[in-house]
């Protein structure tokens, strides 16, 4: 049994503020310890269920956050940038299940630190007309690779939403959202115990099968027209409204790669704050 853990940070135990997830701040180092606790709890649970190989993909921001020395030695770490599939790197390597640890709600939605790839700029993302967050987009990629999503952790809003795109997955709500930057947080000892138990149970859902790749149309809403124009410079991306671009892809993995390029163009082209 090979397990892939995709570890984001905004949905980790105790994270509620931007400084919790921005490298270099005092709160970031504290939050990082909590994320490591969530990840190691998942590793422990999957290992207890008999997993032969567990790979953790650092999936937050620059994707170089998790300290290798503090990772449970039963796991390996994929760290660094420029991964073709980003948060889903290695989903196509023959893994039997994927766990999404520390995930969060998408742009324009309720939930702690809700956003889609960029903290601002992107207002909504739709695949085939259906609103998706990072988890939903990644789950589509996993499904076409024949890999089930078996575990999801984050705030209570994210866990409820996951029932739509990962209906069989075990979920663990590590905090109850009050606003974008506040939550009722459970202590790490409690969340770690629940994550470990859920991971051990979730292992029974593992089992890669044949995927069914299909073409998709992705729409991205941005907060200013000039950003839509900029994103439209990417080959294959069309400006379809003042603040909306769209593109077609033959499968979910290609859609995710193209979306990553659009995100990069939007990020580099956003004007600095001037008021």
Residues in the chain: 275
Task: Tell whether 122 is covered by a domain.
Answer: no
Give pLDDT tens digits along the chain (275 positions).
999 999 999 999 999 999 999 999 999 999 999 999 999 999 999 999 999 999 999 999 999 999 999 999 999 999 998 899 999 999 999 999 999 999 999 999 999 999 999 999 999 999 999 999 999 999 999 999 999 999 999 999 999 999 999 999 999 999 999 999 999 999 999 999 999 999 999 999 999 777 899 999 999 999 999 999 999 999 999 999 999 999 999 999 999 999 999 999 999 998 888 87
State the CATH number of the domain containing residue 91. Answer: 3.40.50.10780
Q: What's this model's pTM, rounded to 2 decimal places?
A: 0.96
Looking at the domain assignment, is residue 193 inside a domain?
A: yes
Helix (H) or strand (E) holding 158: helix 156-165
- Please tell me which residue in 29, 115, 120, 216 is annotated as part of the active site: 115
Q: Which residues, including other chains, have CB under 8 Å from residue 92's CB and lie 6 or more apart?
A: 85, 145, 253
Give the annotated binding-site residues. 8, 10, 60, 104, 134
Q: Which residues of 220-243 are buried (b: 16+ CB within 10 A; e: fewer)?
A: bbbebeebbebbbebeebebeeeb
Residues ≥6 apart with Cβ < 8 Å to 174: 11, 12, 13, 14, 38, 153, 154, 155, 185, 186, 191, 195
Residue 104 falls inside a structural domain: yes
235 domain residue, yes or no: no
Residues 6+ apart with CB under 8 A from 164: 136
Number of domains within the chain: 1
Whether residue 120 lies in the annotated active site: no
Q: Which residues are annotated as a binding site for Zn(2+)?
A: 8, 10, 60, 104, 134
Domain that holds residue 41: 2-117+134-205
């Amino acid at each position: 049994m090979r397990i892939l853990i995709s570890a984001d940070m905004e949905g980790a135990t105790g994270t509620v503020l931007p400084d919790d997830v921005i490298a270099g701040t005092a709160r970031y180092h504290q939050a990082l310890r909590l994320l490591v606790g969530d990840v190691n709890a998942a590793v422990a649970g999957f290992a207890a269920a008999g997993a032969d190989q567990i790979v953790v993909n650092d999936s937050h921001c620059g994707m170089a956050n998790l300290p290798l020395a503090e990772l449970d030695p039963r796991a390996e770490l994929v760290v660094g940038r420029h991964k073709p599939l980003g948060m889903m790197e290695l989903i196509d390597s023959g893994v039997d299940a994927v766990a999404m640890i520390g995930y969060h709600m998408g742009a324009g939605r309720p939930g702690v630190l809700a956003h889609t790839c960029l903290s601002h700029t992107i207002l909504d993302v739709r695949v085939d007309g259906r609103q998706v967050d990072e988890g939903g987009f990644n789950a589509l990629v996993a499904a076409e690779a024949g890999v089930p999503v078996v575990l999801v952790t984050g705030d209570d809003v994210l866990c409820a939403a996951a029932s739509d795109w990962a209906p069989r997955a075990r979920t663990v709500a590590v905090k109850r959202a009050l606003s974008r930057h506040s939550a009722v947080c459970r202590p790490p000892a409690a969340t770690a115990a629940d994550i470990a138990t859920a991971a051990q149970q979730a292992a029974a859902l593992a089992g890669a099968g044949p995927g069914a790749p299909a073409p998709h149309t992705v729409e991205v809403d941005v907060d200013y027209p000039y950003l839509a124009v900029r994103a439209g410079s990417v080959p294959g991306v069309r400006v379809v409204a003042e603040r909306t671009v769209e593109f077609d892809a033959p499968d979910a993995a290609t859609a995710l790669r193209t979306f990553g390029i659009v995100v990069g163009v939007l990020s580099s082209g956003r004007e600095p704050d001037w008021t």
